[in-house]
Structure 1
């Protein structure tokens, strides 16, 4: 059994019902996310889905939106874990499952580059996992800077994430890195 697992974090319908949802980068992201999932399956890595849950609103299970987005190439036996915090490891039972599977390396992908994906990466590193952060298999949205009021584009957010994670918490990777190594 492989010691690597692909985490697909928060790729859920809930996001499409937030006011910041933006389709402009979604199709490209979706295509890359599925390419990464295919590469994981070819390598025999488990593909693990994590869904964010909140008490109310569109991230509440009662909303009906806390489910994996339809575009995802998901197998019926792929594990799914639910979380209530920004990282996928500390309240979801995912860490226990990873330990039981002998997983020591995590490949991170999913929605909100700088939020749940980045936070999971930092926590995973602190817990001793070897981590790859697949930058182009994450999606985020423009954000308003709290000090300047400027709208920060997604390219700047991803650039900052790469800067602060690489060599400290993870290796920054791209989908094509896995395809060229096949």
Structure 2
């Protein structure tokens, strides 16, 4: 896995854009984030996918938790403007998946069924949050047999507190996710530049 680089992308590789929603801009709720370049990198990948006619899956988290900035019907539930304005613009297939849990594979419609029905074996994951919905979707994708490409600089996360008084910064969590997914062979963790070159 360590030496397996992304030198080419399948002609029908699906870009899975996870939860790029306005509610994640609520710093008072989420705290400090990492990677200020995430949105620009996500936009560049969407543009390339749409320009090459590859399929794009837009995933939206419809939270059922009281007080969540992502709850259904709220402004925070909406896609960020740069994503909303790109929907429907590609020459390839497009799918909207809505979910209320971490994995995009537990949403509506059934992502696995759609990918398999379309003959897609490779997925490229970007979006929010790195160590939450992105990582969960990548792990499930790997378990389901997909070639998962995880674009670590086209996503971001937030500082987090855990048990026993332990805390980790967003940067530390991002590195932990990258090591777990790549080292554990769930996914190939790469950077945007590699993917743009391979898929262009």
TM bucket normalised to smaller: 0.7 to 0.9
Counterpart check, 1:129 vs 2:146: yes
Q: Determine if the alignment matches structure 1 residue 82 to structure 2 residue 98.
A: yes
Please give the TM-score of this superposition, normalised by the length of structure 2.
Answer: 0.81
Q: Report the CA distance between 1:100 and its aligned residue.
A: 2.1
Matched position secondary structure for 2:82? coil
| Consecutive unaligned residues in structure 1, runs of 5 or more | none
State how far apart, in whole Å, the 1-side matches of 2:159 and 2:139 are.
Answer: 22
When residues 129 and 161 of structure 1 are mapped into structure 2, their CA distance, relative to the original with a 3 A threshold, is same
Which residue in the other structure is 2:189 paired with? 172
Gap regions ≥5 residues in structure 2: 1-9
Does 1:103 pair with 2:132? no
1:61-76 aligned within 5 A: 61-72=72-83, 74-76=86-88
TM normalised by structure 1 equals 0.88
CA contact (8 A) 1:36 1:175 kept: yes
Which of 31, 38, 41 is the aligned partner of 2:40?
Answer: 31
Q: Which whole-Å deviations, capped at 9, do the CAs of 1:80-111 have from their partners, x for residues lacking one?
A: 11011110012322222222221111000000
C-alpha change, 1:23 and 1:113, in structure 2 (3 Å) is closer
Instruction: Identify the match of residue 54 of structure 1 among 63, 80, 86.
Output: 63
Contact 1:88 1:120 in 2 (8 A): yes
SS at match of 1:166: helix
Are 1:2 and 1:103, in contact at CA under 8 Å, matched by a contact in 2? Answer: no
Q: Partner residue of 2:30?
A: 20
- Tell me the alpha carbon deviations over residues 20-61 of structure 1, each in whole angstroms, 9 at most, x when there is no partner: 1546644x1111111121222243221111001122433222
**Number of residue pairs the alignment of both structures matches:** 180
Question: Which runs of at least 4 in structure 1 moved beyond 3 Å after TM superposition?
Answer: 21-26
Greater relative contact order (CA < 8 Å, ≥ 6 in sequence):
2
The Cα RMSD (Å) is 2.1
Query: Which segment drifts farther, 99-108 or 132-141?
Result: 99-108
Give the 3 Å change call, closer, same or farther, for CA 170–23 of structure 1 in structure 2: closer
